[in-house]
Each structure stands twice: as C-alpha cells, then as structure tokens.
Amino acid sequence: MNSLDASPVDQDLVWTLGDSIDFTLTFTDASTGDPIDLSGFTYQASLRKRSWDSTEFAMPVDDTSAATGVLVVATPTDDTLPRRGVWDLVQVDGSSNEKTLIGGTVLIERRVTVIP
C-alpha cells in the first residue's frame, strides 16, 4: 500500500538577533524545475517558542513575486524573541482553506557586538 505525505517541507532557520534578514524561498516543480505560480493566495508566517505557545511573533511575507514561485519571509527583530523555537509558512486560499507549506526549527544567535 502506498502512503501519501502531506507534511510541510522541513527548513530550519538560523540568524542573529537584531539583524534584518530576508529569507528568499523559491518553489519549483520537482520534475521539471519550473517555478510554481503561487499567486492568488495569501501567506502568513510566524515564530513561536513551542508550537502550542500563545505568544506569536509575525514574520512578514512579501509575495510580490509569487507568480514566479518566489516568497520572501522577513525575520522579526524583537528583543524578546526566544533563542530557540519553531516557525511555519501557511498558504490561504480565497475560501480560507489553509495549507502549511514549509516549517522547521529556529535558532537565534545573540549578537556579540553592541551598537550604541
């Protein structure tokens, strides 16, 4: 019997707290390498210490290039971010159906240099 796997793609993120980082995600068809048109949907991403925690940190998603398979996820720079956590990116269609596309763990390094 074959099984179907609808779990999101696993992608861990690492960055330094306070740095403004944009992660560019490119979605392509695995068999052809062609970009997947992601337009016509909305996208939301967030970070939490644990998936069930009530405190959520938004990760803004720029979908300007969604038609060419590109989404850009920005990291939050809030000083209260947990050092370790989890994140995901959710696609929402016009009927409010949700699909988690990608997610994983987060490691946020602390900066050594203090900028006054």
pLDDT average, residue stretch 33-50: 95
48-88 pLDDT tens trace: 999 999 999 999 999 999 999 999 999 988 888 999 999 99
Domain spans in the chain, listed from the N-terminal domain onward = 16-93
**Predicted pLDDT at 3:** 56
Tokens of 21: 């980082």
pLDDT average, residue stretch 89-99: 95
The whole-angstrom separation of Cα 69 and Cα 29 is 10
- Percent pLDDT > 90 in the chain is 73
Tokens of 86: 């989890």
Task: Enter the pTM of the model.
Answer: 0.87
Mean pLDDT of the chain: 91
The whole-angstrom separation of Cα 82 and Cα 47 is 9
- Domain 16-93, CATH: 2.60.40
